[in-house]
Amino acid sequence: MRYSKITEQIYVGSCIQTEADVETLSNAGVTAILNFQSGIEAENWQINFNSIKESCEKFKILIINYPIRDADSSDLRKKLPFCVGLLLRLLKKSHRVLVTCTTGFDRSPVCVIAYLHWMTDTSLHAAYNFVTGLHLCRPDRPAIAWATWDLIAMVESGRHDGPATHAVTFVWNGSEGEDVCLVGDFTGNWKEPMKANHKGGPRYEVEVRLPQGKYYYKYIVNGQWRHSTASPTERDERGNINNVIVVGDTASVRPFILQQKKVGL
């Protein structure tokens, strides 16, 4: 195993192969591992993942696997925003993180460079030089640039691409006994209303998992389409007033354990 310290909370390196590697990381203060190695690569390297997982549990190190195909710039470009999101969430939980792939030459340093570029207001050139100056690697710089443009285009067009990374609880506070549904961009393009659950008194909730993006929505209350006056609103191109939510990196989300962001009346 070969790894380098990038910041006080971020390390980058090659794959973990033995329990001794896990112990070394534990002694260095690492509390989480973000691994982009595929199962096929692990088999080719004769790595016993179950043994590695048990070692991580022994040393109380969280390990998250999110495979990215090796030497596949398109797959890296597509998955990079989610990878950076995972790293961001681990860091927000005060973990000291080792970001790793098989060789530590490409996928793992790309994630760290993209994180520094997107989340710390560092230019791509400066972030690239900073990481490559500390860790011997050959990051796919064009993949970072293309992923950056993808994110910009997504925000500008309001597209909702990518995996559902955020759990959102929509709340309607009305009157007891009402029939309440949620409808919006995320409900089959407004054609598949979602029934709200009555939580007691005037409170009704609908839980939805969404990719990051901008969404319009409304409530259908006793057959009448209404918007919440207590939540943000915006007029659409037809002049209709809708509630609006922007799902992004401000939501508090744990990897694989989705926390709730709440909006309501």
So which residues are the catalytic ones?
101
In this structure, are residues 259 and 167 in contact, taking their beta carbons and an 8 Å threshold? yes
- For tokens 């990038």, the residue is 6
Q: What is the CA radius of gyration of the chain?
A: 22
Beta bridge partners, 166, equal 210
